[in-house]
Structure 1
């Protein structure tokens, strides 16, 4: 019995030249078309393949499941200050009540009281907590974040991203996603 697998269900995990994923969350994935194009342009090495074969009149190859870049891309030294990265740093949960629903962000020291929009003053917050805190200082309303806001390193965000794996992980990816995690004795 032959099972038809759509090429769309065969993304390629993209590794840097040092065999670490370019990104953990969102996971660095390319469509099968982009992976094939990179192979043809000699920009990547194929590390692992799916059983799925694509064919044209003059060409046939198995779809890559893991590719590594030939040229090393130096990771950013400091992650960008974005809403997504604040949520990732805070593990996608309100820093006041722990809820994972209806997230927004809150200025610990309100902007109306001189607080700035920086890593060190912004936390993930659910809408109800954000509305309850409003423009008050944490000490006024006795609402303190579970974790003090801080500027994360790229390493911090990679570690946080590992806690949120995508819905689908191909078995050929697992060795590359978790090989640098410290092993327990």
Structure 2
């Protein structure tokens, strides 16, 4: 059961994603309510059937002071579509500092990009402009909702009304 469930805060803002068993448990224990269920699948016990949740809403508001996407290697790869930003290769991927660290480049969303080993070595200690290596897109920091919608894998149709609002990107 590899399906995922969107978790909404009490105010219907997206909080995260969890597994179906965890979502079912939250609904069963009255810690959340079922907002949307799968029309094609159900959960079965010996004597009862339950709707398979796709979206749940917590009954209590959870205050999250920072709701952002963690800067990790895998999240950079997801943002860039698991492709080199220079040649679109999917082989031997590494992280590249657009402005090299040796020249004051920082480790940030806006300065890290996915690059294959060959392009990373070719670029070396230069900027993409100096190395005459145009980028497919400039690195950016994704918002939490954008990341859930575009980079979390398969997105259920029932999630879309809750993931279409744009968050402010800092």
TM-score (norm 2): 0.71
Does the Cα contact within 8 Å between 1:10 and 1:63 map onto a contact in 2? no
Does the Cα contact within 8 Å between 2:5 and 2:20 map onto a contact in 1? no
Number of aligned positions between the proteins: 158
Distance 1:10 1:116 in 2: 37
Change (3 A) 1:77 1:99: same
Higher relative contact order (CA 8 A, sep 6+): 1
Distance 1:10 1:105 in 2: 29
Match of 2:32 in 1: 44
| Per-residue CA distance 1:106-138 (angstroms, 9 max, x = gap) | 001211222221122111112221122222332
Is residue 53 of structure 2 the alignment partner of residue 71 of structure 1? no
4+ runs deviating over 6 angstroms: none
Does the Cα contact within 8 Å between 1:10 and 1:65 map onto a contact in 2? no
Q: CA deviation at 1:29?
A: 3.2
Change (3 A) 1:146 1:181: same
Q: For structure 1, which runs of at least 5 residues remain unmatched after alignment?
A: 1-8
Q: For structure 2, which runs of at least 5 residues remain unmatched after alignment?
A: 166-170
Distance 2:2 2:75 in 1: 27
Distance 2:68 2:107 in 1: 16
Match of 1:178 in 2: 160
Q: Kindly indicate which of the two structures has a greater share of residues assigned to strand.
A: 2
Change (3 A) 1:11 1:148: closer
Q: CA deviation at 1:150?
A: 2.7
Q: CA deviation at 1:82?
A: 1.7
Is residue 121 of structure 2 the alignment partner of residue 139 of structure 1? no
Change (3 A) 1:129 1:11: same
Q: How does 1:1-185 map to 2 (within 5 A)?
A: 9=1, 11=3, 13-16=5-8, 17-19=10-12, 21-23=14-16, 28-32=17-21, 34-47=22-35, 48=37, 50-55=41-46, 60-62=48-50, 64-66=52-54, 67-73=56-62, 76-161=66-151, 165-166=153-154, 173-174=156-157, 176-179=158-161, 181=164
Distance 1:160 1:11 in 2: 16
The DSSP-based 3-state class of the residue aligned with 2:45 is strand
